[in-house]
Amino acid sequence: MATAVYPGSFDPVTLGHMDIIERTAQMMDHVIIGVLHNNSKTPLFSVEERVKMLEEITSHLDNVEVRFFHGLLVDFVHECHADVIVRGLRAITDFEYELQMAQTNRVMAPDIDTIFLTTNLRYSYLSSTTVKEIAFFHGKLEAFLHPEVARRVEEKVKKLKNH
Ligand code: PNS
Protein backbone atom coordinates (compact mmCIF):
# COMPACT_ATOMS: atom_id res chain seq x y z
CA MET A 1 0.00 0.00 0.00
CA ALA A 2 1.61 3.28 -1.09
CA THR A 3 0.52 6.46 0.61
CA ALA A 4 1.55 9.90 -0.63
CA VAL A 5 1.41 13.26 1.09
CA TYR A 6 0.80 16.21 -1.23
CA PRO A 7 1.70 19.26 0.88
CA GLY A 8 1.14 22.92 0.20
CA SER A 9 -0.34 26.22 1.25
CA PHE A 10 -3.31 25.94 -1.15
CA ASP A 11 -4.29 29.59 -0.63
CA PRO A 12 -6.38 28.97 -2.69
CA VAL A 13 -6.25 25.56 -4.39
CA THR A 14 -5.92 26.04 -8.17
CA LEU A 15 -6.73 23.83 -11.16
CA GLY A 16 -2.98 23.15 -11.37
CA HIS A 17 -3.07 21.65 -7.84
CA MET A 18 -6.21 19.72 -8.75
CA ASP A 19 -4.48 18.18 -11.76
CA ILE A 20 -1.61 16.95 -9.53
CA ILE A 21 -4.10 15.60 -6.95
CA GLU A 22 -6.08 13.66 -9.57
CA ARG A 23 -2.98 12.17 -11.18
CA THR A 24 -1.48 11.22 -7.81
CA ALA A 25 -4.77 9.59 -6.77
CA GLN A 26 -4.54 7.35 -9.85
CA MET A 27 -1.01 6.24 -9.00
CA MET A 28 -1.22 5.80 -5.23
CA ASP A 29 -3.41 3.75 -2.94
CA HIS A 30 -3.98 6.68 -0.62
CA VAL A 31 -3.31 10.43 -0.92
CA ILE A 32 -3.24 12.82 2.01
CA ILE A 33 -3.33 16.49 1.11
CA GLY A 34 -1.38 18.32 3.81
CA VAL A 35 -2.45 21.93 4.21
CA LEU A 36 0.21 24.04 5.94
CA HIS A 37 -1.00 25.95 8.97
CA ASN A 38 1.63 28.65 9.14
CA ASN A 39 1.18 31.23 11.88
CA SER A 40 3.84 33.54 10.51
CA LYS A 41 2.02 34.13 7.20
CA THR A 42 -1.32 35.84 6.73
CA PRO A 43 -3.17 33.76 4.17
CA LEU A 44 -6.31 34.88 2.35
CA PHE A 45 -8.15 31.83 3.73
CA SER A 46 -7.88 30.30 7.20
CA VAL A 47 -6.56 26.76 7.35
CA GLU A 48 -10.08 25.50 8.12
CA GLU A 49 -11.44 27.23 5.00
CA ARG A 50 -8.65 25.82 2.83
CA VAL A 51 -9.24 22.29 4.16
CA LYS A 52 -13.00 22.60 3.56
CA MET A 53 -12.58 23.79 -0.03
CA LEU A 54 -10.15 20.97 -0.78
CA GLU A 55 -12.53 18.43 0.79
CA GLU A 56 -15.38 19.70 -1.35
CA ILE A 57 -13.57 19.64 -4.66
CA THR A 58 -11.90 16.26 -4.06
CA SER A 59 -15.06 14.52 -2.75
CA HIS A 60 -15.26 12.46 -5.97
CA LEU A 61 -11.85 10.90 -5.21
CA ASP A 62 -12.34 7.99 -2.79
CA ASN A 63 -8.68 7.59 -1.85
CA VAL A 64 -7.98 11.26 -1.08
CA GLU A 65 -8.22 12.87 2.34
CA VAL A 66 -7.36 16.36 3.54
CA ARG A 67 -5.59 17.27 6.78
CA PHE A 68 -3.72 20.28 8.07
CA PHE A 69 -0.29 20.29 9.65
CA HIS A 70 1.99 22.58 11.67
CA GLY A 71 5.74 22.38 11.91
CA LEU A 72 7.94 20.14 9.84
CA LEU A 73 6.56 18.37 6.82
CA VAL A 74 8.64 15.24 7.49
CA ASP A 75 7.06 14.90 10.97
CA PHE A 76 3.61 15.09 9.37
CA VAL A 77 4.57 12.49 6.76
CA HIS A 78 5.74 10.13 9.54
CA GLU A 79 2.54 10.77 11.49
CA CYS A 80 0.54 9.81 8.37
CA HIS A 81 2.67 6.65 7.89
CA ALA A 82 3.14 7.82 4.31
CA ASP A 83 5.86 6.67 1.92
CA VAL A 84 6.44 9.66 -0.32
CA ILE A 85 5.96 13.39 -0.68
CA VAL A 86 4.54 14.57 -4.02
CA ARG A 87 5.25 18.00 -5.45
CA GLY A 88 4.36 19.57 -8.78
CA LEU A 89 7.03 21.19 -10.96
CA ARG A 90 5.71 23.92 -13.22
CA ALA A 91 8.92 25.22 -14.74
CA ILE A 92 12.66 25.27 -14.27
CA THR A 93 12.22 28.24 -11.93
CA ASP A 94 10.52 25.93 -9.41
CA PHE A 95 13.35 23.46 -9.53
CA GLU A 96 15.94 25.13 -7.29
CA TYR A 97 13.52 25.68 -4.41
CA GLU A 98 11.97 22.23 -4.79
CA LEU A 99 15.35 20.50 -4.94
CA GLN A 100 16.52 22.34 -1.82
CA MET A 101 13.36 21.35 0.02
CA ALA A 102 13.52 17.72 -1.12
CA GLN A 103 17.20 17.38 -0.18
CA THR A 104 16.65 19.00 3.22
CA ASN A 105 13.70 16.72 3.92
CA ARG A 106 15.75 13.70 2.87
CA VAL A 107 18.56 14.59 5.29
CA MET A 108 16.02 14.93 8.10
CA ALA A 109 14.09 11.80 7.08
CA PRO A 110 16.08 9.41 4.85
CA ASP A 111 13.12 7.02 4.74
CA ILE A 112 10.94 9.53 2.86
CA ASP A 113 11.37 10.25 -0.85
CA THR A 114 10.00 13.19 -2.79
CA ILE A 115 8.59 12.54 -6.22
CA PHE A 116 7.85 15.28 -8.72
CA LEU A 117 5.06 15.44 -11.26
CA THR A 118 5.38 17.88 -14.10
CA THR A 119 2.39 20.17 -14.08
CA ASN A 120 -0.01 19.89 -17.00
CA LEU A 121 1.16 22.44 -19.61
CA ARG A 122 -2.26 24.08 -19.44
CA TYR A 123 -1.49 25.18 -15.89
CA SER A 124 2.27 25.65 -16.06
CA TYR A 125 2.00 29.42 -15.63
CA LEU A 126 -0.50 29.30 -12.78
CA SER A 127 0.08 30.23 -9.12
CA SER A 128 -2.16 30.99 -6.15
CA THR A 129 -0.45 34.39 -5.82
CA THR A 130 -1.33 35.39 -9.40
CA VAL A 131 -4.89 34.20 -8.92
CA LYS A 132 -5.27 36.36 -5.79
CA GLU A 133 -3.98 39.39 -7.69
CA ILE A 134 -6.47 38.79 -10.50
CA ALA A 135 -9.26 38.45 -7.93
CA PHE A 136 -8.33 41.74 -6.23
CA PHE A 137 -8.67 43.51 -9.57
CA HIS A 138 -11.96 41.72 -10.34
CA GLY A 139 -10.57 39.62 -13.18
CA LYS A 140 -12.28 36.42 -14.29
CA LEU A 141 -11.18 33.33 -12.34
CA GLU A 142 -12.89 30.49 -14.19
CA ALA A 143 -9.80 29.47 -16.19
CA PHE A 144 -7.79 29.03 -13.02
CA LEU A 145 -10.07 27.80 -10.25
CA HIS A 146 -12.83 25.26 -9.61
CA PRO A 147 -16.14 27.21 -9.76
CA GLU A 148 -16.79 26.72 -6.04
CA VAL A 149 -13.30 27.97 -5.14
CA ALA A 150 -13.70 30.92 -7.51
CA ARG A 151 -16.97 31.82 -5.77
CA ARG A 152 -15.29 31.73 -2.33
CA VAL A 153 -12.35 33.83 -3.52
CA GLU A 154 -14.66 36.47 -4.98
CA GLU A 155 -16.72 36.50 -1.79
CA LYS A 156 -13.60 36.83 0.39
CA VAL A 157 -12.15 39.66 -1.71
CA LYS A 158 -15.48 41.52 -1.57
CA LYS A 159 -15.55 41.17 2.22
CA LEU A 160 -11.98 42.41 2.58
CA LYS A 161 -12.65 45.42 0.34
CA ASN A 162 -15.72 46.38 2.38
CA HIS A 163 -13.68 46.60 5.58
O1 PNS B 1 2.38 25.53 -1.58
P2 PNS B 1 3.74 25.88 -1.05
O3 PNS B 1 3.65 27.15 -0.23
O4 PNS B 1 4.78 25.93 -2.12
O5 PNS B 1 4.14 24.68 -0.04
C6 PNS B 1 5.33 24.75 0.69
C7 PNS B 1 5.38 23.66 1.79
C8 PNS B 1 4.15 23.69 2.66
C9 PNS B 1 5.49 22.30 1.14
C10 PNS B 1 6.67 23.93 2.62
O11 PNS B 1 6.69 25.27 3.01
C12 PNS B 1 6.77 23.05 3.87
O13 PNS B 1 6.96 21.87 3.77
N14 PNS B 1 6.64 23.68 5.06
C15 PNS B 1 6.70 22.99 6.31
C16 PNS B 1 7.95 23.35 7.09
C17 PNS B 1 9.10 22.43 6.73
O18 PNS B 1 9.02 21.23 6.80
N19 PNS B 1 10.24 23.05 6.36
C20 PNS B 1 11.44 22.33 5.99
C21 PNS B 1 11.42 21.85 4.55
S22 PNS B 1 12.60 22.71 3.63
Task: Summarize pLDDT for 22-60 with one digit per residue, the tens.
Answer: 999 999 999 999 999 987 779 999 999 999 999 999 999
pTM: 0.96
Candidates 13, 101, 132: which one to mutate for ligand 1, based on the most atoms within 8 Å of Cβ?
101
In a 10 Å sphere around its CB, with 0-12 CB exposed, 13-18 middle and 19+ buried, how is residue 100 labelled? exposed
Q: Is the pLDDT of residue 76 over 80?
A: yes
CB of 105 closer than 6 A to ligand 1? Answer: yes
For residue 88, what are the β-bridge partners? Answer: 117
Candidates 32, 36, 89: which one to mutate for ligand 1, based on the most atoms within 8 Å of Cβ?
36
List the chain domain ranges.
Answer: 3-162
Task: Summarize pLDDT for 138-152 with one digit per residue, the tens.
Answer: 999 999 999 999 999
pLDDT score for 43: 95
Phi-psi region of 52 (alpha: psi -120 to 50; beta: other; left: phi over 0): alpha
For residue 6, what are the β-bridge partners? Answer: 33
Architecture label for domain 3-162: 3-Layer(aba) Sandwich (3.40)
- Give me the DSSP letters along 76-135: HHHHTT-SEEEEEE-SHHHHHHHHHHHHHHHHH-TT-EEEEEEPPGGGTT--HHHHHHHH
Task: Summarize pLDDT for 123-141 with one digit per residue, the tens.
Answer: 999 999 999 999 999 999 9
163 alpha carbon – ligand 1 mean position (Å): 31
